[in-house]
């Protein structure tokens, strides 16, 4: 049976396949990490396309929207694309900027490049954009540079069909106009000797008197509930489940989208036997409840129609124990995020080991990130998540005194400001007298915003009373956040200097 050829928008579910395809096709380059592919799609999914032959990806392209002024001035690939992450996308941009196109060289005669550009042109016309701008490679320049006075003469000879260049020739046949040359656009492109041709295609249907049509209506507001959880002695897992369900029921009644519990709040289960044991033995005992905890929160998330960030729970991973947050979505999916940085006490007393991945979690309210307590004090982790598209960060925490709490709170406030995101925090109160390192608690759970005019004057959307069992609730507007990113008094994301610095996630081992 002949395999069908399909052109469609890329999805997050395609990300792993896209990464393998791109890295295989670009075998001479380092390729993209999975986080970069996810970032490209989350930044502007409508501008990312895949072509499938049957179930196999045979082409991929990524693009963003940028304003005309930014598109026309000299720039590098790193600057215009945020090092390939696509986070420089501007919703109000007038031009589609293509920055990645990968076609399987083994699939010839199918005009895959033409299909990608057809899809891009359809998008431009549908959204009533001015056109397409990008910088194209000239892969044959390294073969001919000794025969010409420079890159401009080379371009003229390709125009006059004296030289053949597969990439530039293709774009000229697509009626792209050469508007300039970019030097050192992509230094790693040795075939083009770092040069790129600045190209533009004007939308023939564009009328400046007609308002542009952009994205379809999105969810404007997300309701977040945080639980400031009271630690108390219990006699059974069923009693624990009953307390937890009470809070999930409350969140369900308030039609919450997200419910956040504190870090290691499940340590309450140690009070069932009420035995004072060495801290590392206590952690080992806690791992026996892992499957019961996951089952409980998955069931409650589906029953009460709320996405639950179930604090964190000690979990056996191979021969080690890790502090893992289970994110139970209301459609039944379960995700996990391990704590990357155990505190010195956790590592010494509890023998907790750190994880090595920070995962973006796709939800029905958009991509989110979870960082457990101490991890929020490392700004690189949040930036890595923001680069992949998150707008909400959830931080379950466990602190025993005000100084420790303030470290977490102030760092979370900084993460909200520097990344222009919402950050929700949830901590424990009360005490567990016979549980080492969890015997006393200090918390003032809160929901934080950037500090700018559209938000609360102190950057706090909701805040609990210190050391009192309660919930905090806030409605967080996505459209307000995006507006602040584009037109706020400060524009931390927009103003990043991608030509000077970046966060690079390394593969462990």
> Residue 245's pLDDT is what?
96
Q: Comparing 507 with 223, which gets the higher pLDDT?
A: 223
Q: Which of 132-136, 429-433, 466-470, 471-475 has the lowest mean pLDDT?
A: 429-433
> Residue 487's pLDDT is what?
87
| CB-based contact 104:25 (threshold 8 Å) | yes
pLDDT at 29 over 80: no
pLDDT at 494 over 90: no
pLDDT at 376 over 80: yes
> Residue 116's pLDDT is what?
93
Q: Could you tell me the pTM of the whole model?
A: 0.84
- At 224, the pLDDT band (50, 70, 90 cuts) reads very high
CATH number of 5-202: 3.40.630.30
> Residue 509's pLDDT is what?
42
DSSP of 28-93, one letter per residue?
TS----HHHHHHHHHH-GGG-EEEEETTEEEEEEEEEEE-HHHHHS---HHHHHTTTT-TT--TT-
> Residue 379's pLDDT is what?
97
> Residue 121's pLDDT is what?
94
Boundaries of every domain in the chain: 5-202, 221-487
For the segment 258-280, the average pLDDT, to the nearest whole number, is 88
Q: Which of 46-55, 278-287, 296-305, 474-483 has the lowest mean pLDDT?
A: 278-287
> Residue 1's pLDDT is what?
55
> Residue 241's pLDDT is what?
96
CATH homologous superfamily of 221-487: Carbon-nitrogen hydrolase (3.60.110.10)
Cross-strand bridge partners of residue 368: 361, 392
Catalytic machinery residues: 263, 339, 373
> Residue 110's pLDDT is what?
74
> Residue 216's pLDDT is what?
55
pLDDT at 58 over 70: yes
- At 27, the pLDDT band (50, 70, 90 cuts) reads low
- At 437, the pLDDT band (50, 70, 90 cuts) reads low
Give dist(CA 61, CA 176) in Å, integer. Answer: 18
| Sign of the four-CA dihedral 137, 140, 146, 150 | negative
Mean of per-residue pLDDT scores for the chain: 91
b/e sequence 250-281, b meaning 16+ C-beta within 10 Å: bbbeeebbbbbbbbbbbbbbbbbeeeeeebee
- At 284, the pLDDT band (50, 70, 90 cuts) reads confident
pLDDT at 137 over 60: yes
Q: Which two tokens stand for residue 9?
A: 């928008």
Q: Which two tokens stand for residue 278?
A: 């060495």
Give dist(CA 402, CA 443) in Å, integer. Answer: 8
For the segment 72-87, the average pLDDT, to the nearest whole number, is 94
Q: Which SS3 state, helix, strand or coil, does residue 109 take?
A: coil
* β pairing state of 392-396 and 366-370: parallel
| CB-based contact 435:267 (threshold 8 Å) | yes
> Residue 214's pLDDT is what?
59
> Residue 108's pLDDT is what?
72
- At 212, the pLDDT band (50, 70, 90 cuts) reads low
For the segment 308-333, the average pLDDT, to the nearest whole number, is 95
* β pairing state of 428-430 and 221-231: parallel
């Amino acid at each position: 049976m002949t395999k069908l050829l399909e052109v469609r928008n890329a999805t997050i579910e395609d990300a792993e396949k896209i990464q393998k395809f791109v890295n295989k096709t670009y075998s001479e380059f380092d390729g993209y990490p999975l986080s970069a592919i996810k970032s490209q799609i989350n930044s502007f999914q409508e501008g990312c396309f895949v072509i499938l032959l049957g179930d196999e990806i045979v082409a991929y392209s990524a693009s963003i929207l940028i304003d005309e002024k930014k598109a026309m001035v000299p720039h590098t690939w790193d600057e215009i694309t945020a090092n390939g992450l696509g986070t420089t996308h501007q919703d109000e941009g007038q031009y589609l900027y293509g920055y990645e196109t990968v076609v399987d060289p083994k699939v010839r005669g199918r005009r895959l490049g033409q299909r990608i550009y057809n899809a891009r042109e359809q998008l431009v016309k549908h959204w009533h954009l001015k056109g397409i701008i990008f910088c194209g490679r000239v892969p044959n320049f390294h073969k001919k540079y000794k025969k010409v006075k420079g890159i401009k003469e080379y371009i003229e000879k390709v125009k006059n069909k004296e030289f053949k260049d597969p990439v530039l020739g293709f774009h000229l046949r697509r009626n792209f106009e050469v508007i300039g040359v970019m030097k050192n656009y992509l230094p790693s492109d040795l075939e083009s000797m770092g040069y790129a041709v600045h190209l533009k295609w004007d939308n023939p249907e564009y009328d400046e008197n007609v308002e542009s049509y952009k994205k379809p209506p999105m969810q404007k507001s997300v309701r977040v509930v945080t639980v400031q959880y009271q630690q108390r002695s219990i006699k059974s897992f069923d009693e624990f489940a009953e307390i937890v369900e009470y809070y999930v029921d409350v969140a369900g009644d308030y039609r919450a989208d997200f419910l956040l519990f504190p870090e290691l709040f499940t340590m309450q289960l140690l009070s069932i036997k009420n035995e004072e044991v060495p801290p590392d033995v206590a952690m080992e005992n806690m791992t026996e409840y892992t499957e019961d905890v996951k089952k409980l929160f998955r069931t409650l998330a589906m029953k009460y129609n709320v996405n639950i960030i179930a604090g964190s729970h000690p979990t056996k991973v191979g021969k080690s124990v890790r502090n893992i947050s289970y994110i139970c979505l209301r459609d039944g999916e379960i995700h996990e995020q391990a704590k990357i940085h155990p505190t010195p006490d956790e590592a010494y007393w509890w023998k907790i080991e750190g994880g090595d991945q920070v995962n973006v979690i796709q939800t029905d309210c958009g991509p989110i990130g979870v960082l457990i307590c101490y991890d929020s004090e490392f700004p690189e982790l949040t930036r890595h998540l923001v680069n992949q598209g998150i707008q909400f960060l959830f931080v379950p925490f466990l602190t025993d005194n005000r100084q420790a709490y303030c470290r977490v709170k102030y760092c979370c406030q900084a993460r909200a400001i520097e990344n222009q995101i919402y950050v929700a925090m949830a901590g424990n109160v009360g005490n567990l007298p016979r549980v080492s390192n969890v015997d006393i608690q200090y918390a003032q759970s809160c929901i934080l915003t950037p500090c700018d005019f559209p938000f609360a004057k102190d950057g706090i959307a909701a805040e609990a009373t210190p050391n009192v069992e309660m919930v905090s609730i806030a409605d967080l507007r996505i459209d307000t956040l995006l507006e602040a990113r584009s037109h706020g008094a400060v524009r931390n994301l927009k103003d990043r200097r991608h030509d000077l610095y970046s966060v690079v996630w390394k593969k462990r081992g």
